[in-house]
Structure 1
């Protein structure tokens, strides 16, 4: 929706010479950038309409999605993917096959993972000749669901091979490999991927200069928008009243009281979700004070899945989305379906794995790590390995909901949950960034402060 800026007419002091003549100002940076973006957006649309080769189509769509431009070309991308799905292609080219699988499955096409069996030798090992194909296979494998053994094997194989490539390669793909080992493309936070991929795309031999420029201008516009939104968010606090002019303070206080009344309006049948979160925190404190370790991981999950706050956060994000969050959708969400359970497990285990060492040196309740070790008699290494397998299972569940959504359910519903999971992945990749926020200072700065040179 186009935003309008209210016109402010300043008071003019008396002037014996009559009204002051208006000055001719140059357009603002925002206006110039926005105008250029609109031109580039249509030029890219023209490029997309002229695509006819499957490989070229896949490369362009992949680049556009990673650069964060796909929201402008939903219809064009759908038409091109339908063309790709119904067209002949070189099924001996692993890079092409992997890209095709990734993009089609990601966009809801029913495509079998059996196409990768032909890339295995007689001993069951994958045959991969180049790093580009290895990366594409890795990303395709991470769109797997339960029961896809060939993709489980592909994921293990590609991780091992990519680690070797990273140690021995100084090619331009080394940066791509490094990012891949942190997280496959499907699991990366969108805005972080945009920021990281622009300089990578800039040095690719197959880059399109128009798409590249549009990506840069679009990112800088988003950066300005995000800063504006952050500025507004910081005002939503009662303590900010003193920063406001006297004439608006009364209105602001009344507005905050209006939001407080929402809690009462929800009623006990909906407020209990937040109470369950508080009850989970209280239970964990009791575990700590009594030095109690739950006997099973399931017992731990009954409390710690709630205390992760994942469900509460994800469910709350649908509030106000009237065109999507219908009564039926909200009733489904509040039934705590497997999509949200999987997200809660993923969030809980991701947190516990990176924060376990720090938390156990202080006064903290037993985490899922200690619980699993006590239940199964495993070592810390074996426990980490098993819990990471549970994280992978959670991702399979979330991928299943995204690629095979429930009838009459908007695809945006599981996509929003997956976006939260991507943020969690970003925050826990190099430790607990929620606790040690200095570790992501550079990343935050690159997103909100430092523009990209166009």
Structure 2
């Protein structure tokens, strides 16, 4: 390694440096982060403990199905449900085992949504009861429309009633939106942009707090705890970002300018994993290295595609390679290293076989990435994306190809839901749940643009998550 620097020249820097990437918007911003004083931090944590138990009493006092459903969805959207996992699991088990045939479409939809989201494979046939003789949905109120819309996105393949529900509710909600007032209009706008099931948890919390605060039925203890929880998490995140920035600053110059800091930091990261893991878990780092080898080999193959001006004949051929190079596989699997005894050696052996859960997830992220970045990438020296491949295979325009690709993305979400509802010993529910969390992040990051590359598109979101605390 010591001879590496001499192998590169300034000419290498100019020739090999990637183009089209703007400097970080944040620079050393987080190095100047100053935490609150020790007394203030101690008060925040103590107040959070008090509120946590107050809310626990509310959870334990919930008995009726409508009350349970409303409370659980509220805690989930406010990011508080993880503090009451055992209690919520028990409540949802009660809901599942209760013979509930209510004629209230909102409650039926909410029940379906929460049970499916938590792994119960409940039937979608219940929604047939809300159709007329002609097979059209009969819905009179926005609340029911919105709940049905959100519930329908937890669909799997072959659930025609849910496919129809999405078409029906999305059209109705769009037509009604201009007549609605806040906060209902805010809820509908959020849903039409991203269905509830696909929203990134922490971003949903920031969006939902002001909506919940405006509700006349709000619980003030729950509201205060939600705000305080966001503030406490911000302190943790900012300390972590400060550490990461400092590590990047201290990286030794070993490689060309455009790679400085990365390679050594990459190796040090694996070393730090081995040190942090307990001795009987350090073997997991081997799997991470294998995953990143897969990524590097795939990227090398893509360079050959670019240099040879090769376009795969089918999108399936393209995805066989490109779903492994989007990086989503590696990031998701890296998170499993820290899940303790939930993740075994056998689980990682299974993950390296690229099971359907991982294929559908990485397909979803790859296709979303390509839709968001195809115009920018094709203006430069880049290999053909799945968009160009789809156009060649089906003889379509770019616009038509994007529509077709979006349908494939929806199929991938259906595949993920199917895998989530049928966990195995090798791939327990926590694996599928984590993969879906990463899919939500990918959906958000590529919703409007390639936000990993054009990061100013998410500057306001980053500020709200890490810089702007709530006044309590």
TM-score by length of 2: 0.83
- 2:271 aligned residue (244, 248, 259): 259
Q: Which residue of 1 aligns with 2:397?
A: 379
| CA separation of 1:278 and 1:104: change in aligned 2, threshold 3 A | same
Deviations 1:42-98 (A, max 9, x none): 111111122222111111110001101111111211222122223344521000000
Q: Which residue of 2 aligns with 1:54?
A: 65
Task: Map 1:125-274 onto structure 2 (within 5 A).
Answer: 125-237=136-248, 239=250, 256=268, 259=271, 271-274=289-292
**1:308 and 1:340 mapped to 2: Cα distance?**
12
- 1:437 aligned residue (455, 463, 468): 455
| CA separation of 1:169 and 1:260: change in aligned 2, threshold 3 A | closer
**2:165 and 2:103 mapped to 1: Cα distance?**
17
Q: Which residue of 2 aligns with 1:446?
A: 464
| CA separation of 1:156 and 1:436: change in aligned 2, threshold 3 A | same
Contact 2:106 2:144 in 1 (8 A): yes
Q: Which residue of 1 aligns with 2:413?
A: 395
Q: Which residue of 2 aligns with 1:11?
A: none
Q: Which residue of 2 aligns with 1:321?
A: 339
Contact 1:90 1:96 in 2 (8 A): no
RMSD: 2.6
Q: Which runs of no fewer than 5 residues in structure 2 stay unpaired?
A: 1-36, 254-263, 276-281
Decide which structure has the larger Cα Rg and report it.
Answer: 1
**2:283 and 2:418 mapped to 1: Cα distance?**
35
Contact 2:372 2:446 in 1 (8 A): yes
Contact 1:342 1:398 in 2 (8 A): yes
Q: How many angstroms does 1:440 deviate by?
A: 0.6
Q: Does 2:280 match 1:280? A: no
Contact 2:284 2:345 in 1 (8 A): no
| CA separation of 1:241 and 1:133: change in aligned 2, threshold 3 A | same
Q: Which residue of 2 aligns with 1:114?
A: 125
Q: How many angstroms does 1:238 deviate by?
A: 7.4
**2:126 and 2:86 mapped to 1: Cα distance?**
27
**2:101 and 2:272 mapped to 1: Cα distance?**
60
Q: Secondary structure in 2 aligned to 1:433? A: coil
| CA separation of 1:420 and 1:257: change in aligned 2, threshold 3 A | closer
Equivalent pairs counted in the alignment come to: 419
Q: Which residue of 1 aligns with 2:433?
A: 415
**1:268 and 1:228 mapped to 2: Cα distance?**
28
